[in-house]
Amino acid sequence: MINDFSNACLNVLLFVPFGFFLPVLWKEFRNAKKVFIAGFAMTSFIEIAQIFTGRATDIDDIITNIAGTLVGYLIAYWFTGIFTRNHKVIFDYLFKSSYMPV
């Protein structure tokens, strides 16, 4: 069995893609509050399902899964902010500055 710290880190890493792809794929989730609610709902569903499969549930799993969801959201927010900001600068540099009317 793995120790508690490794388990917490793995739970965070498990939910980073969930938090990353929600705002990237759906505009409705480009709000931290909605991503938090979606992460809470998903991890609650998983924890409730574990009760019926005979596995143990733990509040630490809920906390670390939500933390992973929010980390993924922050990464998506950071990447999309950089892409949109740099895209305009690069576009202006490549096309507007080199355009010469004939």
pTM for this predicted structure? 0.77
Classify residue 3 as left (phi > 0), alpha (psi -120 to 50) or beta.
beta
Query: Can you give the pLDDT at residue 54?
Result: 86
Q: What are the tens digits of pLDDT across the range 12-47?
A: 999 999 999 999 888 888 889 999 999 999 999 999
Q: What are the tens digits of pLDDT across the range 39-98?
A: 999 999 999 999 999 888 889 999 999 999 999 999 998 888 755 665 555 556 555 555
Query: Can you give the pLDDT at residue 97?
Result: 53
